[in-house]
Amino acid sequence: MNNPVREEEWAAWMRSAIEGDSYAYHKFLTAVTPHLRAIARRRCDQFGASASEAEEVVQEVLLTIHLKRGTWDSSRPLGPWISAIVRNKVVDSLRRRGRQVVVPLEDVVDTLESHEGIAVSDQIDIKHILEKLKDPQRTIVQSISIEGASIRETADQLEMTEVAVRVALHRALKRLATLYSEHAT
């Protein structure tokens, strides 16, 4: 993020959202989504991935921001935290599709902090969100986005084709994004 005024505004909304302000959260998500889309497209282009992959990454990033917003250290800049999530989700997406990805060390220096895992409140939040999905979408999101399984592994586990798993994942992430925007208003 190269705009310090915008970043501070987003950070203020995120702080309020963490404290329970759903209006601030809605404003944050509405403002940040086009930025996420631009970063995801740029990263996917960099690695030769399609625009549809970039859109899937955006949906996964929004889900991750929602689930892990409580892990953001509000005394630190928001931009590197968001950029790290996008970078990680792009890499995850490409690896799930069987591509080897090498991320330059300088791209991750700002985010080489210890991660404490998922807080109990976030685990409850994850469970609540997943309950809104029907199977097999719930199982697919759990397997791929939370447990880190590949599309192929998930397809084998559910006795589905990889294409069917990708379609179900995309639809599930789209459904979750809709639920977030409805909940935030």
pLDDT tens digits for 42-68? 888 877 777 778 888 898 899 889 888
91 plus 8 within the same structural domain: yes
The one-letter amino acid code at 35 reads H
Range of the domain at 58: 4-97
90 plus 161 within the same structural domain: no
**Cβ atoms of residues 139 and 91 within 8 Å:** no
Query: What distance in Å separates the CA atoms of residue 132 and residue 134, rounded to the nearest whole number?
Result: 7
pLDDT at 150 over 90: no
pLDDT at site 70? 84
Instruction: Classify residue 159: in a domain, yes or no.
Output: yes
Instruction: Classify residue 19: in a domain, yes or no.
Output: yes
Distances (CA, A) of 119 to 68, 107, 124: 8, 26, 9
pLDDT at site 176? 73
pLDDT at site 99? 52
Instruction: Classify residue 109: in a domain, yes or no.
Output: no
Helix orientation angle between 51-68 and 22-46, rounded to the nearest 10 degrees: 140
Residue 126, Cα to own-chain centre: how many angstroms? 13
129 plus 168 within the same structural domain: yes
pLDDT-based confidence at 179, cuts 50/70/90? low
**Cβ atoms of residues 152 and 162 within 8 Å:** yes
Cα maximum dimension of the chain:
49
Query: What SS3 string covers 101-151?
Result: CCCCHHHCHHHCCCCCCCCHHHHHHHHHHHCCCCCCHHHHHHHHHHCCCCH
pLDDT-based confidence at 16, cuts 50/70/90? very high
89 plus 24 within the same structural domain: yes
**Which sign, positive or negative, has the C-alpha torsion 121, 124, 129, 132?**
negative
Q: Report the domain count for the chain.
A: 2
Torsion of CA 182, 68, 42, 55, to 10 degrees: -40
pLDDT tens digits for 137-147? 888 888 877 67
pLDDT at site 143? 81
Q: Residue 50's domain is classified under what CATH number?
A: 1.10.1740.10
Mean pLDDT along residues 87-116: 55
pLDDT at site 43? 85
Instruction: Classify residue 104: in a domain, yes or no.
Output: no
58 plus 127 within the same structural domain: no
Instruction: Classify residue 103: in a domain, yes or no.
Output: no
At which of 49, 65, 97 does a domain end? Answer: 97
20 plus 60 within the same structural domain: yes
Query: What distance in Å separates the CA atoms of residue 34 and residue 41, rounded to the nearest whole number?
Result: 11
Which DSSP helix (H) or strand (E) runs through 27? helix 22-46
81 plus 23 within the same structural domain: yes
pLDDT-based confidence at 151, cuts 50/70/90? confident
Q: Residue 178's domain is classified under what CATH number?
A: 1.10.10.10
pLDDT at 94 over 80: no
79 plus 124 within the same structural domain: no
124 plus 64 within the same structural domain: no
